[in-house]
């Protein structure tokens, strides 16, 4: 029978003597071996107290689990969040070690000294807003190390949802082949109407633009119209027949729709990459996006849901959760397009560990 | 062969002579019959021009469809939205008439003079934020007339989504049977921990509260804890062992969570009505709610997703769309709880006409 090891709480570490290296590190990779001691983090210590592998003294007095947990949660910010994630991952059979923003997790079957770590797990609470800038910084760090970034979001009832975040490059097979100056359309309240029935047919059937209002007329969204205007494919005039150039159209559209500028940049980038973005309204995102469309009359399911955000965007984790859940429930990938001088596409997907 | 009827545009109406009553109203219920003329709205007129039943003159000159449409869309706010909804409903075989906020729609097989109208359809664009107060006013009006309220939301590509909104009363079969002053729990960062293993079991298994962190300890959310504290079932103290009363707990919780007050009011109302609300984080709402739980170890699927909103809430239709879509995709009903001096539960569901 194993003897319970005894450790000492010192600031935010628990120190055990040399013997613990063999019993806790060499077999199960708990803690950091030092010259002649084993150093455990607060989280590792709480877990080892719960599993009755160690006892911990502070100022000569032995602490019970409750006393240790209360102390630890007043020393370390969000201790209880990290603890439930640590416990969950350990109990799923992963070896992991504390790191600056959460945990370094080894692949199944791997462990320190044998394999490099595979994931960096960033732990947060559903209540803490997540800055896009912080997320991108984590992602850069983690991808530079050739690891994968996992968000562990703990909800108010301590249930954990794991998301993987990664950058992606998107491209599709829909090349635009339309003549220039096809026709002149009218800007109405907040959409554009193409009156010419042949042009309506061409734009819809060959370009996958707009929605036929009836057999002769096509209604198009502001982003679609702006794209065709900027490419010289379509002219657009106001109701009073004044022609609009791209700059004027952009200005008017931005008055109608707050986030028109970033939305349009993403639309343009996607179209230029051979993808067909259509409105994602029914899914609560800017776009649903098709990689390949053969024939508009038998539209396949779309592949991505894409939402444009500015570089200073702050995610509400509740909304992020809803977006990813909805995308996955209709078998699409949820992608955020971070718009800056360049556009980064970030896929966020639920992860089953 | 029918002769095309000729009408005259006068302000925001098109007037046709007596003969039109027989040809357009008596058979198909277009317009309002007057003493010796038929009065058509702009929308009805555009539709009848499109179907080549009428021609329209303005100042002696005949207008083509494009000219009439442009004129109408500069006279009537959001003309093009209403037009696509009118056309869609007509083509689905409904008789309908313009009303103040949209259309009065007769049930299938019914028509003016034969049956009362069944629905009031309120037309709006995905871009126009929807005030909860306006929605409730519409709902009161429509429900007083014993009709059903339908929202027709037109997206940027002129696709229409129909939602039905109605008030509902919720109740469930889960009565709370727990003794008072069971134990004292600790408020940590943003959740509460029950340390006593028997009490943890009782609260979780009999009351469906919290989530076991491990075999002996239960983590509870702030709303759950507040409810148990206010009922005298549980004591709660801070990490420094200072006891909290309900008012203090409410104050601290409101600092942690902005919308704690309304969220808690809804939680309390639901629990008092025999329902069990648990966090709806994975669905992006405040709560997922169970009508009946027999045994916590075999939790059924939850019935409702409920989100608490203040009486001055403004819906983004994109977010509403996402919430309803997600709820329906997991076979739950999406309910908004409007919190005022009383709480109104509004079910919003996708409607297939």
Domains parsed from chain A with CATH numbers:
1-76 (3.40.1170.20), 176-272 (3.40.1170.20)
Q: How confident is the model at residue A2 (pLDDT cuts 50, 70, 90)?
A: low
Judged by CB atoms within 8 Å, which residues 332-351 of A form the interface with B? none
Alpha carbon of B35: minimum distance to chain A alpha carbons (Å): 34
For residue B250, give every residue at least 6 positions away whose Cβ sits within 8 Å of its Cβ, in sequence order, or none.
B226, B260, B261, B264
- Does residue B87 carry a catalytic annotation? no
Any A CB within 8 A of B73 CB: yes
Strand A96-99: give its sheet, edge to edge.
Answer: A96-99, A102-105, A119-125, A148-154, A160-168, A343-350, A333-339, A304-310, A285-290, A276-280
- Does the distance separating the beta carbons of B155 and A281 come in below 8 Å? yes
Any A CB within 8 A of B36 CB: no
CB B187 within 8 A of CB B238: yes
Q: What does the pLDDT average to over B161-183?
A: 91
Q: What does the pLDDT average to over A26-36?
A: 94
Model confidence over A290-339: pLDDT tens digits?
999 888 888 899 999 999 999 999 999 999 999 999 999 999 999 999 99
Any A CB within 8 A of B323 CB: yes
Any A CB within 8 A of B197 CB: no
Flag whether pLDDT at A68 surpasses 80.
Answer: yes
- Does the distance separating the beta carbons of B69 and A189 come in below 8 Å? no
Give contacts of A322 with chain B, Cβ < 8 Å.
283-285, 322-323, 326
Q: What stretch of H or E contains B219? A: strand B218-220
Catalytic residue among B138, B204, B263, B332: B332
Q: Which of B289, B294, B329 is nearest to B307 (CA)?
A: B289
Give contacts of B282 with chain A, Cβ < 8 Å.
155, 159, 161, 321, 325
Look at residue B297 in the predicted model and tell me its pLDDT.
83
Q: Which of B15, B17, B10, B80 is nearest to B47 (CA)?
A: B80
- Does the distance separating the beta carbons of A78 and B282 come in below 8 Å? no
Task: For an interface test with A, give the residue of B207, B220, B242, B282 to mutate (most A CBs within 10 A).
Answer: B282
Any A CB within 8 A of B108 CB: no
The C-alpha atoms of residue A69 and residue B239 are separated, in whole angstroms, by 10
Look at residue A3 in the predicted model and tell me its pLDDT.
67
Any A CB within 8 A of B225 CB: no
Q: What does the pLDDT average to over B94-114?
A: 92
Q: How confident is the model at residue A14 (pLDDT cuts 50, 70, 90)?
A: very high
Phi, psi of B321 (to 5 degrees): -60, -45
Q: How confident is the model at residue A346 (pLDDT cuts 50, 70, 90)?
A: very high
Instruction: List the structure tokens of A200.
Output: 């309506």
CB A140 within 8 A of CB A125: no
- Does residue B301 carry a catalytic annotation? yes
Any A CB within 8 A of B282 CB: yes
Alpha carbon of A322: minimum distance to chain B alpha carbons (Å): 4
Residue by residue, DSSP assigns B102-148 as: EEEEPPTT--TTTS---EEEEEEETTS-EEHHHHHHHHHHHHHTT-E
Model confidence over A201-222: pLDDT tens digits?
999 999 999 999 998 999 999 9
Q: How confident is the model at residue B299 (pLDDT cuts 50, 70, 90)?
A: confident
Catalytic residue among A66, A77, A282, A301: A301
Rg for chain A (alpha carbons), in Å?
28
- Does residue B332 carry a catalytic annotation? yes
CB B178 within 8 A of CB B207: yes
Look at residue B3 in the predicted model and tell me its pLDDT.
67
CA angle B83, A240, B58 (to 5 degrees): 65
Alpha carbon of A144: minimum distance to chain B alpha carbons (Å): 30
Residue by residue, DSSP assigns A274-337 as: T-EEEEEGGGTEEEEEES--S-GGG-----EEEEEEETT-EE-HHHHHHHHHHHHHTT-EEEEE
Strand B243-244: give its sheet, edge to edge.
Answer: B211-212, B218-220, B192-194, B183-187, B234-237, B243-244
Give contacts of B284 with chain A, Cβ < 8 Å.
318-319, 321-323, 325
For residue B13, give every residue at least 6 positions away whose Cβ sits within 8 Å of its Cβ, in sequence order, or none.
B39, B40, B41, B42
Q: What does the pLDDT average to over B105-131?
A: 94
Residue B31 is classified by DSSP as: S
Q: Which of A221, A207, A188 is nearest to A287 (CA)?
A: A221
Flag whether pLDDT at B1 surpasses 60.
Answer: no
Model confidence over A108-166: pLDDT tens digits?
989 998 999 999 999 999 999 999 999 999 999 999 999 999 999 999 989 999 999 99
The C-alpha atoms of residue B306 and residue A18 are separated, in whole angstroms, by 55
Look at residue A1 in the predicted model and tell me its pLDDT.
41
State the complex-level ipTM. 0.89
Flag whether pLDDT at B16 surpasses 50.
Answer: yes
Judged by CB atoms within 8 Å, which residues 119-148 of A form the interface with B? 125-127
Alpha carbon of A329: minimum distance to chain B alpha carbons (Å): 7
Alpha carbon of B194: minimum distance to chain A alpha carbons (Å): 10
Residue by residue, DSSP assigns A190-226 as: SSEEE--HHHHHHHHHHH--SEESSSS-EEE-HHHHH
The C-alpha atoms of residue B243 and residue B245 are separated, in whole angstroms, by 7
The C-alpha atoms of residue B337 and residue B259 are separated, in whole angstroms, by 13
CB B90 within 8 A of CB B47: yes
- Mean per-residue pLDDT over chain B, rounded: 94
């Amino acid at each position: 029978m194993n003897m319970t090891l005894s450790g000492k709480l010192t600031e935010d570490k628990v120190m055990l003597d040399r013997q613990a290296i063999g019993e806790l590190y060499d077999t199960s990779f708990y803690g950091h071996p030092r010259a002649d001691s084993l150093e455990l983090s607060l989280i590792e210590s709480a877990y080892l107290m719960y599993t009755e592998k160690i006892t911990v003294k502070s100022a000569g007095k032995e602490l019970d689990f409750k006393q240790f947990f209360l102390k630890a949660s007043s020393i370390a910010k969000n201790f209880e969040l990290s603890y439930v994630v640590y416990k969950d991952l350990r109990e799923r059979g992963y070896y992991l070690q504390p790191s600056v923003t959460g945990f370094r997790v080894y692949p199944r079957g791997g462990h320190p000294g044998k394999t490099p770590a595979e994931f960096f797990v960033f732990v947060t609470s559903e209540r803490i807003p997540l800055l896009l800038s912080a997320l991108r910084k984590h992602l850069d760090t983690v991808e530079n190390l050739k690891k994968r970034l996992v968000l562990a979001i703990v909800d108010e009832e301590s249930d954990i949802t794991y998301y993987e975040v990664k950058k992606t490059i998107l491209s599709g097979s829909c090349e635009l082949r339309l003549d220039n100056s096809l026709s002149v359309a009218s800007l109405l309240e907040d959409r554009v109407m193409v009156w010419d029935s042949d042009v309506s047919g061409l734009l819809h059937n060959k370009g996958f633009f707009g929605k036929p209002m009836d057999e002769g007329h096509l209604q198009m969204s502001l982003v679609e119209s702006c794209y065709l205007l900027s490419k010289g494919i379509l002219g657009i005039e106001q109701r009073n027949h004044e022609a609009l150039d791209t700059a004027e159209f952009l200005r008017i559209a931005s008055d109608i729709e707050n986030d028109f500028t970033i939305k349009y940049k993403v639309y343009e980038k996607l179209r230029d990459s051979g993808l067909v973005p259509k409105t994602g309204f029914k899914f609560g995102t800017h776009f649903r996006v098709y990689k390949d469309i053969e024939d508009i009359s038998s539209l396949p399911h779309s592949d991505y849901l894409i939402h444009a955000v500015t570089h200073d965007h702050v995610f509400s984790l509740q909304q992020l959760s809803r977006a990813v859940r909805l995308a996955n429930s209709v078998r699409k990938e949820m992608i955020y397009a971070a718009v800056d001088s360049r556009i980064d596409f970030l896929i966020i997907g639920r992860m089953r560990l």
